[in-house]
Structure formats: structure tokens, C-alpha cells
């Protein structure tokens, strides 16, 4: 009888864990969807797309992804997971959830640029350890970088001028935009609207 009670308790515990995970998943993507609609008009136009796609090439690992991350009226968890993996910290291998608003911002930026090729990724997620190491070697690395939260990315778009990519990102007014022409990339993040060169 004690064995059955323990087994029942274990089954109840598993059900509670599953329910908790389901709630977290719903909240995470529900909040992200709500935030998308709260963004400026440029971002609001993304809600009209039946499918949202993103193509990325990680220059450090050589890995690429062509993901349809939004379809049938919702985010596709497996496609977002593939994006998370591509944007992992290539130094440590650590994978985190990338902010869906950043993914939407990249989708919109690619669309606005009429991009034909994948974004080249210079830097996606950075672990606190990696960020601290980079900060030692460069004054351009923020101590509290949005990269550590999965809310920032450094990219270029082959076939398009970096200056035009920069201007288009600024026009969207959807977060931070940094311009690094000597290193041939721009930084975009989903923090407050600001820019720097």
C-alpha cells in the first residue's frame, strides 16, 4: 500500500511538472506575442505575415538554419529551438532561449532589406563568462550586454550594403542599433531605442 501511495504521488508530481512547463511555455510565448504588438508600427506589420521565416549562418561554427518559426498562428517551438542552437555561445556551447522579439526584428529587417541570403552571425548569445573575457580585450563590450540575455545579435547581410542595413534598422525604432563599419557588422537588440557608432 505504501508503494502504491508513492507511485501515485510520483504520477501526481509528474503531472504537476508537465502542467508547470506547459504554463511557462504558454507564458513565454504569450508575453513575447504581446510585446510584439506593443512595438512600433514597423513591428506591428509583422503580425500580418502568415509565416515568419529566418535564415542564419553562424560564421564561427559554419552551421546554418532556415527556420519557419511562426506558422498556423503560433510560434513553432522546434524551429525556435533550432535558432537558439545556431545562436548559442560558440565558445562554451551554452544554449539559451533567444528573445522571440529579436527573431521577429531580424525577420522584419530581412524583409525590409529585401534580403536574398541568410544573415551572417558574428555574435548571438554570450554567456557571462564569455562576455567578461571579451570585455577584457575590447572597450566596446558592455558589462551588462543584452547578448547575455539572448536579446542582441551582431550581423551583416550579404548582398546588401552595411550602411543601408544600419539605416533600415534605425528606421524600425525597435531597440538598440550599433554601427561597426570597420568590423563589417551592425548590432541590434530589443532593449530601449538608442543608437551608437
End-to-end Cα, the chain, rounded Å? 70
47 pLDDT exceeds 80?
no
Per-residue pLDDT of 118-130, as tens digits, reads 999 999 999 999 9
List the single range of 18-32, 68-82, 140-154 with lowest mean pLDDT.
18-32
- For residues 69 and 103, is the Cβ–Cβ distance under 8 A? yes
3-state SS assignment for residue 78: helix
The predicted model scores a pTM of 0.77
The CATH code for residues 39-196 is: 3.30.1380.10
Give the span between the Cα atoms of 101 and 117, in whole angstroms.
21
pLDDT given for residue 69 in this prediction:
97
Domain edges within the chain: 39-196
Give the span between the Cα atoms of 84 and 5, in whole angstroms.
40
Amino acid at each position: 500500500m505504501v508503494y502504491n501511495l508513492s507511485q501515485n504521488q510520483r504520477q501526481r508530481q509528474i503531472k504537476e511538472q508537465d502542467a508547470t512547463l506547459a504554463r511557462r511555455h504558454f507564458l513565454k510565448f504569450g508575453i513575447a506575442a504581446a510585446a510584439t504588438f506593443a512595438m512600433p508600427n514597423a513591428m506591428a506589420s509583422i503580425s500580418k505575415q502568415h509565416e515568419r521565416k529566418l535564415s542564419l549562418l553562424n560564421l564561427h561554427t559554419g552551421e546554418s538554419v532556415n527556420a519557419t518559426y511562426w506558422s498556423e498562428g503560433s510560434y513553432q517551438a522546434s524551429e525556435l529551438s533550432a535558432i537558439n542552437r545556431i545562436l548559442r555561445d560558440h565558445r562554451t556551447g551554452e544554449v539559451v532561449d533567444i528573445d522571440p522579439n529579436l527573431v521577429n526584428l531580424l525577420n522584419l529587417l530581412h524583409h525590409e532589406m529585401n534580403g536574398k541570403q541568410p544573415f551572417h552571425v558574428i555574435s548571438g548569445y554570450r554567456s557571462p563568462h564569455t562576455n567578461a573575457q571579451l570585455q577584457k580585450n575590447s572597450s566596446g563590450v558592455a558589462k551588462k550586454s543584452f547578448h547575455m540575455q539572448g536579446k542582441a545579435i551582431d550581423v551583416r547581410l550579404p548582398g546588401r550594403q552595411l550602411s543601408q542595413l544600419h539605416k533600415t534598422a534605425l528606421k524600425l525604432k525597435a531597440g538598440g542599433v550599433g554601427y561597426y563599419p570597420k568590423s563589417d557588422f551592425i548590432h541590434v537588440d530589443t532593449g530601449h531605442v538608442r543608437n551608437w557608432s
